[in-house]
Amino acid sequence: MSHTVQKASSGDAAPTGAVDPRLLVREQGFKGYLTEFKRKVRGGELGSIPVVVGLIVIGVIFQSLDSSFLSAGSLSNVSVYIAGQGIMAVGIVFVLLLGEIDLSIGSVAGVGAALWAVLSVSNGMDDTLAVVLAIAAGAAIGAFHGFFFAKIGVPAFVVTLAGFLGWSGLQIWMMGEEGTINTPSGGIVENLTNYYFSDIAAAYGLATVGVAAFLGSSLLDSRRRRAAGLPFRPVSEIALRTGVIAVIAFVCAYQLNQARGLPLALVIFLAVLLFADFVVRRTTYGRQIFAVGGNAEAARRAGINVEKIRITVFAIAGLLAAFGGLFIASQSGGASKSLGSGNVLMNVIAAAVIGGTSLFGGRGKIWSALLGMLVIQSIQQGLNLLGMASEIQYMITGVVLLAAVVIDSVSRKTQKSAGRT
Amino acid sequence: MSATPVLALRGISKRFGAVQALTDVELEIHAGEVVALVGDNGAGKSTLVKTIAGVHPIDEGAIHWEGRQVDIHRPHDAQDLGIATVYQDLALCDNLDVVANLFLGSEIRRAGIIDEVAMEKRAKELLDTLSIRIPSVRIPIASLSGGQRQVVAIARALVGDPKVVILDEPTAALGVEQTAQVLDLVERLRERGLAVILISHNMADVKAVADRVAVLRLGRNNGVFPVRTTSHEEIIAAITGATDNAVTRRQARTTEAGL
């Protein structure tokens, strides 16, 4: 934190004036914004700054190397490709908020896709039911991991490492006879990444609704805070934020309409993000996840059922992994023995960390799944355009992940030296 | 001071296996009173507090709450009666802000959603009535000083409107100025009519804020003294057992025998 707080802690008896000068009251207007921003950066609270800077750098570099990088078609592809692993990354954010790790999600994605394929394609089960069962199986697998971690006390690292091996074995066994099962055209899974709302009204409509919802909720919140006599965001600030979001939303909508329209995959991914963000920030359950991730003992004493939180969080990670697996199956044309293996696991964990969610628990945002996935996918997209081999992509993704973790660790250190632990 | 003690312990005994941790302990505490609980290490202070807080159920004896006998088996029972405990390790979440910590486990909700506005408002009111000064109710606990964390932990205990507050070594790890802040807060709790049980090793703190001192020695009562009329040395003597009791008598006998 800034010097303001350090002064406050060593200060003498509090003066009883109108406003204590040591209090961190943000100055109104944009100057206040700037000082607040500086204070946060100096204190090591970098938030989404590194990842946004990273995205801009990636955009500039690849655009200068290949002018089709920022073309509508390329961006449209990125928006579809991020969905599968991005949804899995949302699950990983939940687990990271607990201060734990789940190494099994790649295999769980594979099992989910395999289960759906075997049930629906090979055994002719109702497609919807097969999809629901595959996702439910993912949740059950996650809860199984969570049980061993929370009730038995096995480290999550080990449980999910065992799961990583075990479930990929199950996946290969299930796929045994065929090896690969192609997605039938017109089915739910096929549509996940191949359906586009080609009507241009869809993309613009979604952008309009999103911006309006943001503006409305901001104004409402500001009014309630004002009525309660609490510090509130001035209208000018809300207008600025809404403006930035509106520009991003409508540029994206325009670009998507230039290509094939609004992808269903992106809509589902955004819906998952919004819902997860709501759960984490606005519900008691989300608050309890942060509490357990920050100090499990304190959470227990506050009457929180720590075991329940741990099991359910792993179940969420498993559920989203299986759901993401269906997207990957859709994208690659079917379920296979190797779906979810390779660098899927690392990409997903890297996305959450690159996006700004701490590996050390208790700090992070759901939206880091989107931001981190954008970084990883745009690097892959750019390298693909340049015709680079996948081994180069692995190396570059490795470097980016290391950089992200370094930023996380350094910002933690800065926070410690600035009076934060 | 009210006639009926808000909390009264009658003949409390507690044993852990072969260890008799508490034997026939009596303690009374009235509303608007600060009772210091002192004793040497292993005297049973923490055990006694934990029996009141419901962490360890008692083996023998009775607990009376406002005159009627009650059973405290779980921490929840104690909380329901109106007993709040602030443990030595503060049990706050460093990553959450002050408001979130104050209401952790009892968030105010509106239609199932956490009502941040109402919580922040109540947090401010609570901190104001206790004259607690912290930089902002929206900064994480991690950026507060030790004394500020302690007062937040105490304020957190008050969210459920308790009648008895137990403070376990609230000033143990604090500097001079921060200790003063916490002692000020203890006095404000008394002014609000709460009964406070203060566990402390520090005689200066005890003399500063407590009305009565209850001394435990080897799991038994070793006297309850009014602070104002008792000297430092008398309390120390009761803690160490240098007064007329079984130990000193035995010592006297052995010295006689030696003569």
Tens digits of residue pLDDT in A151-182: 999 999 999 999 999 999 999 999 987 788 88
Chain B contact for A96, CB < 8 A? no
CA angle, A133 then A137 then A140, to 5°: 135
Task: Tell me the nearest-neighbour CA distance from A236 into chain B, angstroms.
Answer: 21
Residue scoring higher pLDDT (A393 or B120): B120
Is residue A41 over pLDDT 80?
no
Is residue B157 over pLDDT 80?
yes
Is residue A100 over pLDDT 60?
yes
Judge whether A135 lies within some domain: yes
Judge whether A139 lies within some domain: yes
CA A188, A190, A191, A193 torsion: positive or negative?
positive
Across the interface, of B75, B76, B95, the residue whose CB is closest to A290 is B95
Question: CA–CA separation, A248 vs A253, rounded Å?
Answer: 9
pLDDT tens per residue across span A232-253: 888 888 999 999 999 999 999 9
pLDDT tens per residue across span A361-391: 888 999 999 999 999 999 888 988 888 888 8
Q: Determine whether the interchain pair B91/A420 forms a contact, defined as Cβ–Cβ distance below 8 Å.
A: no
Task: Tell me the nearest-neighbour CA distance from B106 into chain A, angstroms.
Answer: 8
Question: CA–CA separation, B121 vs B117, rounded Å?
Answer: 6
| Window A:39-78, CB contacts with B under 8 Å | 43
Q: Which residues of chain B are at the A interface, by a Cβ-Cβ cutoff of 8 Å?
A: 75-76, 87, 89-96, 100, 104-107, 109, 112-114, 117-118, 120-121, 124, 131, 133-136, 139-140, 142-145, 147-148, 177
Report whether A375 contacts A89 (CB < 8 A). no
Judge whether A145 lies within some domain: yes
What is the count of structural domains for chain A?
1
Judge whether A189 lies within some domain: yes
Q: Determine whether the interchain pair A5/B135 forms a contact, defined as Cβ–Cβ distance below 8 Å.
A: yes
Q: Which of A6, A9, A280, A281 to mutate to test the interface with B (most CBs of B within 10 A)?
A: A9
Judge whether A246 lies within some domain: no
Q: How many CB pairs under 8 A join A and B?
A: 115
Chain B contact for A362, CB < 8 A? yes
- Please give the structure tokens belonging to residue B63: 């607990």
Query: At A28, is the pLDDT very low, low, confident or very high (cuts 50, 70, 90)?
Result: low
Q: Determine whether the interchain pair B131/A230 forms a contact, defined as Cβ–Cβ distance below 8 Å.
A: no
A234: how many CB neighbours lie within 10 A of its CB? 14
Chain B contact for A239, CB < 8 A? no
3-state secondary structure of A103: coil
Query: At A418, is the pLDDT very low, low, confident or very high (cuts 50, 70, 90)?
Result: low
Report whether A347 contacts A376 (CB < 8 A). yes
Judge whether A322 lies within some domain: yes
Q: Determine whether the interchain pair B135/A303 forms a contact, defined as Cβ–Cβ distance below 8 Å.
A: no
Query: At B75, is the pLDDT very low, low, confident or very high (cuts 50, 70, 90)?
Result: confident
Q: B212-217 and B60-65: which strand pairing?
A: unpaired
Q: Determine whether the interchain pair B145/A228 forms a contact, defined as Cβ–Cβ distance below 8 Å.
A: no
Query: At A313, is the pLDDT very low, low, confident or very high (cuts 50, 70, 90)?
Result: very high
Beta bridge partners of B8: B28, B64
Query: At A316, is the pLDDT very low, low, confident or very high (cuts 50, 70, 90)?
Result: very high
> Which chain B residue's Cα is nearest to A15?
B133
Mean pLDDT of chain A: 87
Query: At A14, is the pLDDT very low, low, confident or very high (cuts 50, 70, 90)?
Result: very low
What is the share, in percent, of chain A residues with pLDDT greater than 70? 89
Is residue A290 over pLDDT 90?
yes
Range scoring the smallest mean pLDDT among A320-324, A354-358, B129-133, B211-215: B129-133
Judge whether A24 lies within some domain: no
Residues across chain B: 259
- Please give the structure tokens belonging to residue A175: 């796929």
Mean pLDDT of chain B: 85
Is residue B2 over pLDDT 60?
no
> Which chain B residue's Cα is nearest to A25?
B136
Which chain A residues contact residue B100 at CB under 8 A?
Answer: 287, 290-291
- Please give the structure tokens belonging to residue A12: 């003498």
Model pLDDT, residue A25? 52
Domain of residue A385, residue span: 81-195+287-400
Collect all residues with Cβ–Cβ distance below 8 Å to A360 and sequence separation of at least 6: A99, A408, A412
Q: Which of B55, B96, B185 to mutate to test the interface with A (most CBs of A within 10 A)?
A: B96
